[in-house]
Amino acid sequence: MVLLAAVEGGGTTWVAAIAKDHPENIIERAEWPTTSPAETLGLVRKWLDARKFDALGVATFGCIDPKLGSPTWGYITSTPKLDWRYTDVLGVIWDGKVPVQFDTDVNAPALAEYMYNAEPGDTSCVYITVGTGVGVGVVVNSKPVHGLVHPEGGHMKIAPLEGDTFPGVCPFHGNCVEGLASSVAVAKRKGCDRSELPNLSDDDEVWEHCAHALGSLCASLVCGLSPERIVISGGVLQRAALFPKIRKHFLKVLNEYIVHPKLTEENVGSFITPSKWGNTAGLIGALTLSRMALEGTQAPDTSSRARPLVPYLLAALGGAGIACVLLGLRKKA
């Protein structure tokens, strides 16, 4: 029997779980609200310390540093969530005794969707999550894409609907996809609290703007990456009525430029799809990272890993200096 441990870090909630033998076979889980790094990660570490497992997968919101050997490997870096900037996640929750893999909370479920739900012969998949932010995970040639850092497709700029003057809510890019389609953006446009969004009608105009942004994102991803499937999940997409709207805007923006049987009104429903795992997709993705860690190399030696001063200074400027300094104290494995 193999026990896989995973941590999924989200803007609203952090979740930890144990699965037996396979990422879908979850036998125990716990969750905590996302508060300060010190409080939230401390609770996660306490939970993990009380359990035995063979490998750990960690998937969090970004931006992150997934580059093994980098001085900030295992960090959340330049995130819009100011209190979490330059937080050493692995430095707190990983004890260094088991194999570990660290990636974004969208690359991980993209990998899981590809490994367990792809059509025979597929080599690619895109996973989009839409909640307090918008994230895009990418698998190409059967591997998650990292490249320079990792994909951040939620911050791509798109053309808003004609006549739309809403400035968006992204602190970096204003009316990027995240600035127009996240739950924060929808609530801001509507002038309500995010907790009130489930009470809105499916026909409310705000959903048309949200769907247009996401449909435009999907069109850009098809033009730039040519994925064989796009999976969309997250809190906002619990509203199933959004899927037909997104597909409609996707086809309109694409305007029949790319010709393929999947990219038609009849078949687009099997190309842009929800995850069969629903809101558990991110956690199953993190457990998939744990499985990959177990099947890959042993836990890397980080005993000589430098703890740079600059991230701490930047974190201090973001209002979380003390917490991040405390979190940056990693025990040598």
Q: Check residue 325 and give its pLDDT.
A: 38
Q: Are residues 43 and 162 in the same domain?
A: no
Check whether residue 161 and residue 100 sit in a common domain.
Answer: no
Element (H, E) at 113: helix 107-117
Number of domains within the chain:
2
Q: What is the pLDDT of residue 184?
A: 95
Asked if residue 304 belongs to a domain, the reply is yes
DSSP code for 255? T
User: Residue 143 domain-assigned?
Assistant: yes
**177 plus 262 within the same structural domain:** yes
Residue 145 C-alpha from the chain's centroid? 13
**Does 111 reside within a domain?**
no
Does residue 113 sit within a domain? no
Judge if 157 and 205 occupy the same domain.
yes
Q: Is residue 112 part of a domain?
A: no
**Model pLDDT, residue 145:** 87
309 within some domain = yes
Q: Where in the sequence is the domain holding 294, given as residue range(s)?
A: 3-106+283-327
| pTM for this predicted structure | 0.83
> Domain check: are 143 and 230 in the same one?
yes
The pLDDT tens digits along the chain (333 residues) read: 999 999 999 888 999 999 999 999 999 999 999 999 999 999 999 999 999 999 999 999 988 999 989 999 999 998 878 899 999 999 999 999 999 999 999 999 999 999 999 999 999 999 999 998 899 999 999 999 887 778 788 999 999 998 999 999 998 899 999 999 999 999 999 999 999 999 999 999 999 999 999 999 999 999 999 999 999 999 899 999 999 999 999 999 999 999 999 999 999 999 999 999 998 999 999 999 999 999 983 333 333 334 443 343 333 344 444 334 334 434 434
CB contact set of 98 (below 8 Å; sequence gap of 6+): 5, 53, 54, 55, 56, 293, 299
3-state secondary structure at position 168: coil
Looking at residue 99, what DSSP letter applies? -
For residue 263, the domain's CATH number is 3.30.420.40
Residues 184 and 297 in one domain: no
Q: Which residue has the tokens 């194999």?
A: 99
Do both 257 and 152 map to the same domain? Answer: yes
* 154: in domain: yes
Q: What is the Cα–Cα distance from 211 to 313, expressed in whole angstroms?
A: 39
Same domain, 176 and 298: no
Looking at the fold, whether 58 and 186 belong to one and the same domain comes out as no
Does residue 128 belong to any structural domain of this protein?
yes
